[in-house]
Chains A and B, each alone.
Chain A
Amino acid sequence: MGVAGAKYTIYLGCAIPYRVSSYELSARKVLNRLGVELIEMPEFNCCGLPLESLSHKLTLLLSARNLAIAEQVGLNILTLCPGCAGTLKKTNKVLKEDKVLREEINRHLSKAGLEFKGSIEVKHISQALIEDIGLDRIKKAILRPLKGLRVAEHSGCHLSRPRKHIGFEDPENPKVLKMLIEATGAKCVEYLGETECCGSTIAAIDDKISLSLVREKLLHVREANAEALITICPACHIMYDANQMRAERMFGEKYGIPVLHYTQLLGLAMGMQPNELGFDELRVNPSKILERALEAKQRT
């Protein structure tokens, strides 16, 4: 796809409107700056991932319904949540390949006058940035290179796993988010357990285990002397930012690691102001890293 005029339907899912508007706000700002047009689709529903434990068929049907709705306007879907992207991608792939299953799902959808045809693709924002917009175009939009900033990345499980359904990223050695971070001028540091899970999916089932995973990640990030942890998933962000204080209380430790959405980091590098990018919505105080980022000289 060409660089100018990239156009998608935007799929928000459940977690972002429920709790993570800082991500949506900053993502819309940077995508707009990059010339991406987002079409709102009023009729979308949950992607189905959180209910897959109850019924695989329910999940297939919910995601197929979203795909069928987006097909009506003939645009690819862009999601901010890797969980939604993964689920929609998987359903899209499975239903394109399996005629019998597709007919069965379409029998359900037809009750509401909908049909899955398999005519569009689904991309997570990171995939759209790397494949459709491209690193060159992103680099050209950087007005305030974040030189000297040391950050750590957390891609999250569903951005790349399971490999056979996602495909665009290597789960054992993820590099898309790293490349996107380095495009801002910041340095992406390596740390132990980069690909480890945030634990959000079992947060409602076992608090102690999920917060143990949060603790482990934050300690590893601190060991690497990173100034912030960069996420690109609403669920991972909730775990590391909103729940960081709960983990601190549970384990009697202090981590103090700011957690930024990648789109916030990119927005800063594009010369945008913190209040445009939802920085006041973050729970862990980002003032230190903001100060450092704003020190970076604006290119005139």
Chain B
Amino acid sequence: MLHEKYTNKDAIMEEGEGIILSGSEKASPSRVNPKFKYEVLRVPGGESLIHCFQCGTCTSDCPVARFSDKYRPRSIIRMAQLGLKDRVLDSDFLWLCASCFTCTDRCPQGVEVASVIRALKNMAAMEGRIPQAFKILLGNLIKTGYIYEIPESRIKRRETLQLPPLPKTNVESLTKSLQNLDIKRFLEGLPQKSSEVRVWV
């Protein structure tokens, strides 16, 4: 029974993979930006976008695509090639890539699919389109050097377990190294009560 899911993957792919232009995209060609692909090519990780010939190996081998009816790496690549900029950068599905790199390793054209998707996420982030969880992780990094705030109970528990004290980042030195990167822009709209946002399960 479990094995069936593997053989059914092609069927799932066919159902979910067509790119249908929405009403507004059909009505206003300005929503399609033919120059967009050149922007992607210039973002680190986006360089191989142009080599994709839409074979679909990425989607058929993607663990997330097996359980999502929205996430299709091949479609994301095609949308980027076509210039459906807002459709890609505004989407929730862009953030569903698990970064397992199966697509990158198996692409017969050498497209670094996961890196292209990361480049698209970086572009979305530059425009402030960022899931809340990432803002909290970045906020923690700026404060402590790590993406989680280690709870006091954990630090005490280390003593009981006879583990050495945790490394403590020299935050001042870290801040100096990061000062020219303008990463604070990503924090806009950081939720006040970070405990309400799930950063991990």
Interface residues of A (CB under 8 A from B): 12-15, 17-19, 21, 24-25, 28, 40-46, 50-58, 61-62, 65, 107-109, 111-114, 157-158, 161-163, 171-172, 192, 195-197, 199-213, 216, 219-220, 223, 238, 243, 246, 278
A157 to B186, CA, bound (A): 28
Cβ-closest chain B residue relative to A86:
B101
A238 to B200, CA, bound (A): 10
**Chain A residues within 8 Å of B186, by CB:** 54-55
Interface residues of B (CB under 8 A from A): 2-3, 5-6, 43-45, 63-64, 67-68, 95-102, 104-105, 112, 114, 118-119, 121-122, 125, 130-131, 133-134, 137-138, 141, 145-148, 150, 154, 157-158, 161, 163-164, 166-170, 173-174, 176-181, 183, 186, 198-201
**Chain B residues within 8 Å of A25, by CB:** 161, 163
A134 to B158, CA, bound (A): 30
Which of these, A28, A111, A157, A200, contacts B177 with CB under 8 Å?
A111
The distance from the CB of B195 to the nearest CB of chain A, in whole angstroms, is: 13
**A-B CB pair tally, cutoff 8 Å:** 191
A299 to B113, CA, bound (A): 51
**Chain B residues within 8 Å of A65, by CB:** 174, 177
Could you show 25 A-B contacts with beta carbons less than 8 Å apart?
A17-B146, A18-B150, A19-B200, A21-B158, A28-B163, A40-B164, A43-B167, A44-B169, A46-B141, A46-B145, A46-B146, A54-B138, A56-B43, A56-B45, A56-B122, A58-B181, A114-B177, A161-B102, A161-B105, A197-B63, A201-B100, A204-B199, A204-B201, A207-B201, A209-B96
Are A53 and B67 in touch, CB under 8 angstroms?
no
Are B170 and A55 in touch, CB under 8 angstroms?
no
The distance from the CB of A219 to the nearest CB of chain B, in whole angstroms, is: 6
**Chain B residues within 8 Å of A51, by CB:** 134, 137-138, 141, 147
Which of these, B114, B122, B150, B180, contacts A17 with CB under 8 Å?
B150
A206 to B119, CA, bound (A): 21
Are B169 and A157 in touch, CB under 8 angstroms?
no
Which A-B residue pairs are the 6 nearest by beta carbons? A161-B101, A45-B145, A197-B100, A157-B100, A112-B173, A112-B176
A200 to B200, CA, bound (A): 8
